């Protein structure tokens, strides 16, 4: 089942349950999916593109959460955090730190990377292999740690 269909069903459920936070979050996700479809002129969007949308939206919410927290606006920070949790439910299971380290070690050995100078090769392969399973920042930090 496509993400768009899953989101539509979740919107219906949120409407029935009168869950305002979930409804707002899910409508935002559906809006982004429809925007991408419009840009693609009605073509089907891939699972990777769907995951990228979700990750981008979570990153936006995380950034907003940090800004609101820094400004002492806990009311707005709580809304952002709640929306993040709703959107995260639609992402594939995220890798733990140990699993991420193992995966990146495998990628380092496959690419033949030896030092921090080879970070670009590792990041390119890791970003493709771990798309949706971990965010870019975590991948980058782990790769830098293992290469240095």
Q: Which domain holds residue 131?
A: 97-147
Distances in Å between the Cα of 71 and the Cα atoms of 78, 83, 85 are: 13, 19, 21
pLDDT of residue 21: 92
Same-domain check for residues 76 and 119: no
Distance CA 45, CA 42 (A): 9
Residue 131 has pLDDT above 80, yes or no: no
Looking up residue 102, the CATH number of its domain turns out to be 1.10.10.410
Q: How many domains, in total, are found in the chain?
A: 2
Please give the average per-residue pLDDT across 97-118, as a whole number: 83
pLDDT grade for 1, boundaries at 50, 70 and 90: low
Shortest CA distance to 79 belongs to which of 90, 67, 89? 67
pLDDT of residue 64: 94
Average pLDDT, the chain: 87
pLDDT grade for 17, boundaries at 50, 70 and 90: very high
pLDDT of residue 2: 80
Same-domain check for residues 74 and 135: no
Q: What is the pTM of this model?
A: 0.73
Q: Could you tell me which residues are beta bridge partners of residue 56?
A: none
Same-domain check for residues 9 and 64: yes
């Amino acid at each position: 089942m496509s993400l768009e269909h899953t989101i539509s069903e979740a919107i219906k459920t949120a409407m029935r349950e009168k869950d305002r936070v979930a409804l707002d979050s899910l409508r935002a996700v559906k809006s982004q999916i429809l925007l991408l479809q419009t840009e693609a002129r009605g073509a089907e969007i891939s699972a990777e593109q769907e995951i990228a949308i979700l990750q981008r939206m979570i990153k936006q919410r995380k950034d907003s959460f940090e800004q609101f927290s820094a400004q002492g606006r806990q009311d707005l920070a709580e809304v952002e955090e709640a929306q993040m949790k709703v959107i995260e439910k639609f992402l594939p299971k995220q890798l733990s730190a140990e699993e991420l380290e193992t995966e990146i070690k495998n990628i380092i050995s496959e690419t033949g990377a030896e030092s921090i100078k080879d970070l670009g090769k590792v990041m390119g392969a890791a970003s493709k292999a771990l798309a949706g399973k971990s965010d870019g920042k975590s991948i980058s930090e782990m790769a830098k740690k293992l290469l240095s």
